[in-house]
Structure 1
């Protein structure tokens, strides 16, 4: 690595840092004192649900507070509410939580509205058969990709 490469990497990081922060901590940037329609508590609850991923299936209040940047007492109230509503549940013999079946309703509802899946599926199948490989269709969700269909 040359000196120029190190400088370029440092400059790139400086440019990307605000974008990365906005994508990873959107609640802070969404709040607008003039937007009376925006419900901060709802946004916080939904951001908490986004923390659960295949890589982070079981999370405690402290971890959720670190991931969201929200105070731990706020996280405690959110996990209590989301648990009572059936969106998360406590992992047995643990203080951690995991997603519950209640969140599936959102996913199934969203997938049923994505007509491109039914249109693309036969073409994906043909391509998979021809190539002898898996074919996937995904959409971007902030810094992640969400698979809509895999053949």
Structure 2
């Protein structure tokens, strides 16, 4: 059971918990697989609802603007109102506000892609993307989740947690390789986390995208807990991993340290 599932299970025992709200949010979450359109039946199956319940929730969300319904195909897609939630989150986050100009300057100085990710238990979520000339579509999108255990930002953030907490997170992760180069064995992951703890930054090479290498430093909160990470991503065609690490690793760590006061 994931931590989110455990939270949901605990919440259902709470007298203040609104189960119908959870179901409505589950309908929005049904679009997490990357498909733009879903039928009513597909939404019901993804959410564990019968057709009648799925119909009521989708109708309500369409009326509120969080879903849109194609009049010809009768299929549903996420509505533009969802973007408003993201905007409000980003606008109100003081760390993201402080980091945005810093990361823009960092991108200009390095010529590489620069990202900021947020720590979210078994995941990291990209909140800032300063792209370079060589990009693929996903690399320009904010809000993308990536596994905490195989990303440089995830590993450097894990390196600032107590070992018991790291072990608990890894136990709840699905350690499925994203590429042939992904390090997915628990012992090797722990070794890379320990290495990141010693160096002050983490390096990954082709573990999430073939041909790409990334270094990251951790942004810490007032009690030294990880909040976010600064990533610098580049191509293996331009640098060897050793060259890339020496050139950009300390810079990622320094930038993250400077931003920690805003956590």
TM-score, normalised to structure 2, is 0.44
Aligned to 1:133: 112
Displacement of 1:109 in angstroms is: 1.3
Aligned to 1:48: 27
Contact kept? 2:91, 2:97, Cα under 8 Å:
no
- CA distance in 2 between partners of 1:53 and 1:21 (Å): 15
Unaligned 5+ runs, structure 1: 1-17
More strand by share: 2
Contact kept? 2:62, 2:68, Cα under 8 Å:
yes
Counterpart selection for 2:72 from 69, 78, 93: 93
Contact kept? 1:136, 1:147, Cα under 8 Å:
yes
CA RMSD of aligned residues (A): 2.6
Contact kept? 2:119, 2:125, Cα under 8 Å:
yes
Contact kept? 2:67, 2:77, Cα under 8 Å:
yes
Task: Please tell me whether residue 32 in structure 1 is matched to residue 15 in structure 2.
Answer: no
Contact kept? 2:12, 2:19, Cα under 8 Å:
no
Encode CA deviations 1:1-56: one digit per residue, 9 max, x unaligned.
xxxxxxxxxxxxxxxxx228938xx75x35534x2211101111012112224712
TM-score, normalised to structure 1, is 0.71
Moved over 6 A (4+): none
Displacement of 1:79 in angstroms is: 0.3
Q: In 2 relative to 1, CA 83–100 (structure 1 residues): closer, same or farther, beyond 3 Å?
A: same
- CA distance in 1 between partners of 2:102 and 2:10 (Å): 39
Task: Please tell me whether residue 71 in structure 1 is matched to residue 54 in structure 2.
Answer: no
- CA distance in 1 between partners of 2:122 and 2:73 (Å): 30
Encode CA deviations 1:96-124: one digit per residue, 9 max, x unaligned.
10111222222221111111112112221
Q: In 2 relative to 1, CA 115–129 (structure 1 residues): closer, same or farther, beyond 3 Å?
A: same
Contact kept? 1:124, 1:135, Cα under 8 Å:
yes
